[in-house]
């Protein structure tokens, strides 16, 4: 099978699976227990936390483990907003955020918070000027994703964060789920206050993720109970998942340079190939993420193209995997103001670890055959 949908999820690396199994077999004690098995499990947990904190440029006790990207985004947004409600109740985000961000701010809006949405240009990029106009004295949170999961637009996070810091007391949160392992992601390079990451996007396990933040920040606890994870996310911590996530992050970071170069080569090759078809519009910006390439075929439904490719052993997706089963047009595509005759035919190709050059050649051959059948091109 030619899998080209790595932005939806990835296959766990063998090293990650081996780590997960080993920890489950040998260190299954509750890390909160004071007996020897608990102490050993806790030592592993804290070592994983320390490794992740070092990679991201923060302190150990400013990293907590979650069940994945959705929870990390929800925890960050809700925890910050509620924790700072005495300071203000205004939140800024963009129109093309992941649903886990957009639905979280909608919940807060029902609780009395006021939400402003940044517009995007044709490339899916927000503007500093729009942020300047919407930033207020009572703004407590700005949340903008680093790389869009549907079209790969890269936001100028460092510039946005600098403007927020100079002109407000707001906390800047970034969803870096699609960028870690492909671009530099840490507090020094991005200049943000809070980061959300997910394991299954970087050949880790589903059900793993983290929230990390700068040392001076505090959160409102979203999940209460036994006081685990510094009282911010109660519940017995899944040590095998935490350790395997640290492993996945280390392996992904070590491969970053090679991956970026390889994905850039494939992206350029496919852009040149797709531009030969009169009925295709490339949606991903030319200076966007190298591992995501979205395009649309005029007056053809994306589902038709996906099924046609799948019969030939090629797996791609329509926009976001989170919304691909829905009939309505993606909110990202709507925000970009894509022409009606292209809205339904959006496909997303996304590269990842383990792919080879031959997969690109196979896609080109089979896609050309499909286009001959469907469009006569």
Q: How many C-beta atoms surround the C-beta of residue 128 within 10 A?
A: 12
Residue 284 CA to residue 128 CA, distance in Å, equals 21
DSSP character string of 116-160:
EEE---TTS---HHHHHHH--TTEEEEE--SB-TTT--B--HHHH
Are 293 and 349 contacting, i.e. CB atoms less than 8 angstroms apart? yes
* Selection from 103, 162, 109, 152 nearest residue 132 by Cα: 162
Q: Which helix (H) or strand (E) holds 213?
A: strand 209-213
The residue from 17, 322, 366, 375 that is catalytic is 322
Cα–Cα distances in angstroms (integers) from residue 278 to residues 341, 361, 377, in the given order: 13, 20, 8
Going by their DSSP bridges, the two strands 209-213 and 171-175 should be labelled as unpaired
Output the six-digit token pair for 149. Answer: 């999961």
Is there a catalytic annotation at residue 322? yes
Q: In sequence order, which ranges of the chain are alpha helices (DSSP H)? A: 14-26, 36-56, 69-83, 99-110, 128-134, 157-167, 187-190, 239-254, 256-274, 302-310, 331-335, 340-343, 357-375
State the Cα–Cα distance between residues 284 and 246, nearest whole angstrom.
Answer: 31
**For residue 196, what are the β-bridge partners?**
175, 211
Query: β-strand 292-297 against 280-282: which pairing, if any?
Result: antiparallel
Q: Answer whether 266's CB lies under 8 Å from 258's CB.
A: no
Provide the 3-class DSSP secondary structure of residue 244. Answer: helix
Q: Which residues are catalytic?
A: 322
């Amino acid at each position: 099978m030619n899998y080209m949908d790595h932005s939806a999820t990835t296959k766990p690396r063998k090293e990650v699976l081996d780590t997960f199994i080993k920890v489950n077999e040998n260190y299954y004690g509750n890390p909160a227990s004071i007996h020897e098995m608990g102490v050993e499990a806790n030592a592993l947990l804290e070592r994983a936390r320390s490794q992740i904190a070092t990679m991201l440029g923060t302190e150990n006790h400013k990293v907590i483990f979650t069940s994945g990207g959705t929870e990390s985004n929800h925890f960050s947004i809700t925890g910050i907003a509620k924790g700072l409600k005495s300071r203000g109740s205004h939140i800024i985000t963009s129109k093309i955020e992941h649903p886990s961000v957009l639905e979280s701010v909608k919940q807060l809006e029902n609780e009395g918070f006021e939400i402003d949405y940044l517009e995007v240009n044709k490339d899916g990029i927000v503007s500093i000027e729009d942020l300047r106009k919407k930033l207020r004295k009572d703004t407590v949170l700005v949340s903008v994703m680093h790389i869009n999961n549907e079209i790969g637009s890269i936001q100028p996070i460092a510039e946005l964060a600098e403007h927020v810091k100079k002109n407000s007391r707001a906390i800047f949160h970034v969803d870096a789920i699609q960028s870690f392992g492909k671009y530099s992601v840490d507090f020094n390079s991005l200049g943000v206050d809070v980061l959300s990451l997910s394991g299954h996007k970087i050949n880790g396990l589903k059900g793993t993720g983290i929230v990390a933040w700068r040392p001076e920040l505090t959160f409102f606890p979203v999940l209460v109970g036994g006081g685990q994870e510094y009282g911010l996310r109660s519940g017995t911590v899944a040590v095998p998942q935490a350790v395997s996530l640290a492993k996945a992050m280390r392996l992904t970071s070590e491969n970053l340079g090679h991956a970026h170069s390889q994905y850039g080569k494939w992206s350029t090759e496919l852009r040149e190939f797709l531009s030969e078809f009169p009925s295709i519009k490339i949606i991903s910006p030319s200076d966007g993420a190298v591992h995501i390439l979205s395009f649309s075929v005029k007056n053809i439904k994306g589902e038709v193209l996906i099924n046609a490719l799948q019969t030939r052993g090629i797996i791609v997706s329509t926009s976001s995997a989170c919304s691909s089963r829905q009939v309505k047009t993606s909110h990202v595509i709507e925000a970009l103001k894509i022409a009606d005759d292209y809205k339904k035919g959006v496909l997303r190709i996304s590269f990842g670890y383990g792919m080879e050059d031959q997969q690109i050649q196979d896609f080109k051959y089979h896609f050309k055959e499909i286009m001959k059948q469907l469009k006569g091109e």
